[in-house]
Amino acid sequence: MGKTIIIVGGQWGDEGKGAIIDFLAEKADVVARFAGGNNAGHTVCVGNEVYKFHLIPSGIIHKKLNIIGNGTVIDPEVLVSEIEGLEKRGFTIDSSNLVLSSSAHIITADQISEDQATGARIGTTGRGIGPCYKDKIARRGKRVADFIKENNKEAKKLRPLVKETYLIINEAIDSGKKVLIEGAQGALLDIDHGTYPFVTSSNPTTGGACTGLGIGPTKISNSIGIFKAYITRVGGGPFTTELGTEQQTKSEESLSELKSKLSKDGFEHLYRKIIHQANQSDEYSEGRLLRIQGGEYGTTTGRPRRTGWFDAVAAKYSIMINGLSSIVITKLDVLSNLRKLKICTHYEIDGKKTGRFPLNLEELKKAKPVYIEMDGWDEDLTKITEFKKLPEKARKYLEKIEEILKTKISILKIGPKRNQTIVVDNKFLF
């Protein structure tokens, strides 16, 4: 049997899964996606080239087979647009490198309209994802196998790619191939295990990979969770370690808007001012600095992301429900310029300290973070190539996270590019 690795988001999504998939895909034979729709956004940087994917697995830029599984929901126009965008950049897309499950469900115009009318209360992307899953469960949805019988541009374009993908992925595993399974969103957005109702409509946890692709759990070798060195959230819902308020973030201009309004010197002056305010323990400025340095604006929506300190209570919960073998820490470089860093080790709820992540929304809203404080660093980490060459304070920060979570770090990201990836422990990898 081959080695099968699942990659899932350990937080509320946007952890940088695309870059890790891209890095690991080089040694994989097959890359498969199992849940969600074009509410996901994965960004991959290769040299000076930037690729943004919403439906196609991030492994498409490698000469590997990519599978979009039965657990996904498909907007045909978006998928065809992504395919055509890759073709314009010189890629040949056919069934040798991209296949789509005949059992996946199609997002319709009516479902998009319904989502746009009703999804605002929890901050959905308005792309029809929830209504499509609702109709799937109610057994009135439209599957890919039915859609490709239609006589339209998208149906004709997708028809050659449609297969019974459960056979393809099981045969790949059974024949000894290396299979990389790509998650969308994050564990805290899981419909069953997330902060309901502020969740997505699918199961982006490791269990969802089995049902979303048609493989048994005994065929999974390792499960790896992706975590930022801090934490972010898009849309509504409780956020215990949030820096500033949700309203402050919503009213903030995006990075591109700021740069278009200000001169280079003007932006630099604002940036330095934010650094100074952040180091005066101004919470909103701390969060805004993370947003600017981390480019924390949604790949799919462009919305500013809410930012907060690393939440080890939520991380331990995510490790438990996913059965994670190891973790990846991304965006460590974003923490530079902060003199003090915090890690949330416990919550305080109604005056009682707990390490439990509560699923009751009212209880979670009352949770106050209990922090430990660590020294930050000023150094630029983006050119460092080995873990041992990191500044001592950065190493101590990572070692403390490992100690609290009782889980090893396998990969460290110190920038968006492929060569800004440090393998810390390769026994969990291909």
What the block records as the tokens of 388 is 């041992």
300 pLDDT band (50/70/90 cuts)?
Answer: low
- Provide the residue type at 223 as one letter: S
Catalytic residue among 22, 29, 42, 346: 42
The C-alpha atoms of residue 48 and residue 43 are separated, in whole angstroms, by 13
pLDDT at 30: 97
Same domain, 34 and 117: yes
As beta bridge partners, residue 421 has 413
Same domain, 211 and 120: yes
| Residues spanned by the domain of 251 | 246-307
pLDDT at 248: 94
In a domain, 333, yes or no: no
The C-alpha atoms of residue 63 and residue 96 are separated, in whole angstroms, by 9
Gap between the terminal Cα atoms of the chain: 13
Same domain, 255 and 216: no
43 pLDDT band (50/70/90 cuts)?
Answer: confident
Average pLDDT score over residue span 9-30 = 93
Tell me: pLDDT of 46 over 80.
no
The C-alpha atoms of residue 104 and residue 111 are separated, in whole angstroms, by 15
Catalytic residue among 14, 22, 75, 333: 14
Same domain, 181 and 103: yes
3-state secondary structure at position 23 = helix
Same domain, 166 and 217: yes
Buried b (16+ CB within 10 A) or exposed e, 341-375: bbbbbbbebeeeeeeebbeeeeebeebebbbeeee
Does residue 311 have an active-site annotation?
no
Strand residues in 159-210 grouped as ranges (E): 162-163, 179-182
In a domain, 375, yes or no: no
Q: Which residues contact 406 (CB under 8 A, 6 or more apart)?
A: none
Same domain, 303 and 197: no
Q: Which residues contact 43 (CB under 8 A, 6 or more apart)?
A: 18, 19, 50, 51, 52, 53, 299, 416
Average pLDDT score over residue span 203-229 = 97
Q: Nearest to residue 103, comparing CAs of 150, 166, 185? A: 166
What the block records as the tokens of 299 is 């790949």
Domain boundary among 268, 285, 307: 307
Average pLDDT score over residue span 213-230 = 97
299 pLDDT band (50/70/90 cuts)?
Answer: low
In a domain, 193, yes or no: yes
Tell me how many domains the chain contains.
2
pLDDT at 42: 74
Q: Which range in 2-6, 188-192, 234-238, 301-305 is most confidently predicted, on average pLDDT?
A: 188-192
In a domain, 339, yes or no: no
Phi, psi of 98 (to 5 degrees): -150, 125
Strand residues in 176-277 grouped as ranges (E): 179-182, 222-228, 231-233
Same domain, 257 and 140: no
Same domain, 27 and 68: yes
Q: Nearest to residue 319, comparing CAs of 402, 382, 234? A: 402
In a domain, 108, yes or no: yes
Residue 132: give its domain's CATH number: 3.40.440.10
Each residue of 76-100: pLDDT tens digit? 999 999 999 999 999 999 999 999 9
Q: Please count the residues of the chain.
A: 430
- Provide the residue type at 185 as one letter: Q
- Classify burial at 378, counting beta carbons within 10 Å of its beta carbon; exposed 0-12, middle 13-18, buried 19 or more: exposed
As beta bridge partners, residue 160 has none
Does residue 29 have an active-site annotation?
no
The C-alpha atoms of residue 380 and residue 409 are separated, in whole angstroms, by 21
420 pLDDT band (50/70/90 cuts)?
Answer: very high
The C-alpha atoms of residue 54 and residue 71 are separated, in whole angstroms, by 15
Average pLDDT score over residue span 115-127 = 80
Domain boundary among 284, 307, 330: 307
Same domain, 200 and 296: no
